[in-house]
Amino acid sequence: MKKITILDLKAKKARGERITMLTAYSYPFAHFIDESEIDAVLVGDSLGMVELGYESTLPVTMEEMLHHTQAVKRAVRRAFLIGDMPFMSYQTSTEEAVKNACLFMKAGCDAVKLEGGTEVVDKIEAIVKAGVPVLGHIGLTPQRIAQLGGYKVQGKDIKTAQKLLQDAQELERAGVFGIVIECVPYQLTKLITQRCSVITIGIGSGPYCDGQVLVINDLLGITIGHKPKFVKSYANLASQIKEAISQFQKEVKEGSFPDLGHAYSLSDELWQEIKRITDSK
């Protein structure tokens, strides 16, 4: 299958064709996603909460992100691959931001994502100038959760709504190819999408974006902990996983697994010869 490029994503927006994106943190899930012809895969720093058991995304390191990115890259042949720049990988200096963005590209990414609006414009401009495509992220930005006062819908008053629209326009001017809009009222999201020429990808922001992204664990129904209102689970694998584990435990305890159908064997002739030799010693 043909590899999806940034030009393909822009062409989809121009045609009014919806863009599909999912997160992936491991080789197996990335393999299934890529085979399903999803347009883009995001190795999100949400792996901190989803896969590593952290309470937020803040503890996630560059080393952890690159480790998971490389695993995902081994499976992704078709989809556009985006690496999520973790907390403190771009906030400290422009030089550090460019260096870390380039490390994601060396790990096999097609682009990077970073959170924030006007306050990160200088970092985005430098990263883009270095030849690295950037996906912006506004609205609920988990790396700023302490500043936001929790995981809350953003843009619910005039001041913050104006700020979000300004952020989107500033990110476009800085050179992003697209913007993730998270947990923003759908009316405001629609306005941002209409006012910006770049791709908009929604999560918890209604149907009026150019595309949608979900966390793969949420989609499959294996969310651990709180499940956000905006999540739609297309399967309930959690119950099947628990049932399978319980059945394994039961069969091992009662001795029905493994049976001889799940074991390797020797030919009778070879076994008799082995017995003859061992018995003679």
Burial class (CB in 10 A: 0-12, 13-18, 19+), 76: buried
Q: Is 83 helix (H, G, I), strand (E, B) or coil?
A: strand
Q: Cα dihedral angle (207, 118, 87, 8), rounded to 10 degrees?
A: 50
Helix axes 62-73, 27-35, angle to 10 degrees: 50
* Pair 112, 136: CB distance under 8 Å: no
* Pair 120, 90: CB distance under 8 Å: yes
Give the length of the chain: 281
* Pair 111, 80: CB distance under 8 Å: yes
* Pair 23, 33: CB distance under 8 Å: no
37 is catalytic: no
Q: Which of 51, 182, 243, 251 is catalytic?
A: 182
Q: Quote the CA–CA distance of 59 and 194 in Å, as a whole number.
A: 35
Catalytic residue positions, numbered: 182
